[in-house]
Amino acid sequence: MKSIPHSATLSYLFKSNYNLFEAAASPIIAEDLLGKVIFVNKNVTDILGYKSQELIGNDINSLMPETEWKAVKKRRLETSSGRKGIYDKRKFVTHKGEIVEFSDEMHPIFGFDKETIGFMHHLTQHKQEDVGALYALLESCKDGIMLLNMDGNILDANEPAENLFSLKKEEITGKPIGHIIAERSISRYEEYWKRKISHPNDLAGEFDVELYCRKKNGKEFPVEVTFIPLGDTIVMADFRDMSEKKQMERSLRSSNIQLKRFKSELQQYTYITSHNLREPLHVISNYIELLQKKYADKLDAKALHFMGHIVNSSDKMNSLLKDLLDFSSIDVYTRLDETDCKTVVGEILAENDSLLKSNNVKVNIGELPVITANAVGMKKVFYHLVNNACKFQKEQPEAEVAIDARENKKDWIFSVTDNGVGIDEQECKKIFLLFQRLHATEKYSGNGVGLAIAKKIVEMHGGKIWVESELGEGTTFYFSLPKYIPQ
């Protein structure tokens, strides 16, 4: 060791710059290569409660609890081998025997021949309340939290962090955080660290990062980490265990796949059922018709009346099955196009001209937009709403139906209004259910499928359908369609 001759140099260095160091805002202690105190500024003597001459020449270890000695020694080696500005959490003992904690930034001191001749401890004392609050936060927090220095070395860890990584904090303090990060996530961590630490105010990019970490036994698991620089010396790393979330994501994904399969099975099932049921039904109606035709004169009125029931019921079943088939095949209307609602409504009115004329319905069309939607689907929605409006009319000379649209920020609201019989408030909820009919009378035909189809199509587009009505006054059906529909 060539420390002894250098001590004089070191002492000289500090004496010649005395005013500068004395005026520094933070406590500064210099030691030579043997660990003897060469210089302390006023801040140090004030805080530790010694006079400067009581400290100069003494072993710096005597100012620290024994637990720090090993760490300081290790840090001296690192510092002299060129790693500058390393921060540690360091405890000192005051004259009264109290422990004071500093953040210790250690710098090598070079002599005239550019060799290390000692070390300077640039201390930062955290205000007691700050430290207290920080520690209270650390201990009460359910997330695993570690405090790191600016080099990414672990200074401290709370209990949840110990549990998360299945180790004790004594086992990791002083080690670089890379130690607990899985190989595959290292580059991701480094990139995130660089961004958070060298540009802490740059808010671009993600706030958190998902990494794989390693437990003590080497087992890797997913975490979400946030690095938050606290001042210039400490970085708080907040770890949240994502194992459960990942597990849930996986099970959600598999449930989704299953759901899709069920849905397609159900669709197929409905289709096949309604399709196959229609075949024997046709046979029944065909032969009853034949009976009616060929044997009408041989059967009495009662028999013909009974046969009437059979014909009516098989017709009814046929139309129910057809509607069921229609309802189940809506799912094919998924392709989205530029759809001009004015054209769509125009087509419907033209195709149903005779229905409108026979019911004496006058239709007023407002300004209708061009939207992104499935054109066939939209046509069905408007058809069923117009058909519904035409069907439930009062005994009046002229029925009126108004079709309109209103633009909102995010969606379009369409409305189909009639001046018909209206719907009882209690019934309004039921009307969109499949095969739900509100009227028992023969006057209003139908199976109760139209509005269910309209609802399904609107909802497939991410919209909603609802109804407002006053009994005896009329009804307005509204449906919303989002302007932007994710494909």
Partner 1 sequence: MKNIIPTQKLNCILLVDDDEADNEFHSIIIEEAEVAYSIKNANSAKLGLKYLNSIQGSTDKFVIPDLIFLDINMPGMTGFEFLQKCCENHLLDTISPVIIMLTTSVNPNDKITAEEKFAGLVKGFRVKPLTEKMLDGIMSEFFGNREASDFSGKEISQNLV
By the criterion CB under 8 A, which residues form the site for partner 1? Answer: 309, 312-313, 436-441, 448
Distances in Å between the Cα of 342 and the Cα atoms of 212, 334, 339, 366, 415 are 55, 20, 9, 9, 13
- If the CB atoms of residues 313 and 319 are measured against partner 1, the closer one turns out to be 313
Distances in Å between the Cα of 464 and the Cα atoms of 269, 406, 412 are 27, 14, 11
Q: Which residues pair with 120 in a beta bridge?
A: 30, 107
Min. distance of Cβ 283 from partner 1 in angstroms? 19
- If the CB atoms of residues 317 and 485 are measured against partner 1, the closer one turns out to be 317
Q: Is 150 in contact with 233 (CB distance < 8 Å)?
A: yes
Min. distance of Cβ 435 from partner 1 in angstroms? 9
Residue-by-residue DSSP string for 201-217 = T---S-SSEEEEEE-TT
The helix (H) or strand (E) run that includes residue 92 is: strand 86-93
Min. distance of Cβ 431 from partner 1 in angstroms? 11
Q: Which residues 6+ apart lie within 8 Å of 90 measured at CB?
A: 64, 68, 71, 72, 101, 102, 103, 104, 121, 123
Min. distance of Cβ 429 from partner 1 in angstroms? 13
- If the CB atoms of residues 116 and 313 are measured against partner 1, the closer one turns out to be 313
- If the CB atoms of residues 424 and 470 are measured against partner 1, the closer one turns out to be 424
Min. distance of Cβ 356 from partner 1 in angstroms? 25
- If the CB atoms of residues 309 and 429 are measured against partner 1, the closer one turns out to be 309
- If the CB atoms of residues 311 and 365 are measured against partner 1, the closer one turns out to be 311
The CA distance from 149 to 193, in Å, is: 12
Min. distance of Cβ 440 from partner 1 in angstroms? 4
- If the CB atoms of residues 158 and 314 are measured against partner 1, the closer one turns out to be 314
- Unique residue bearing structure tokens 């500005």: 85
Min. distance of Cβ 235 from partner 1 in angstroms? 59
The CA distance from 119 to 103, in Å, is: 15
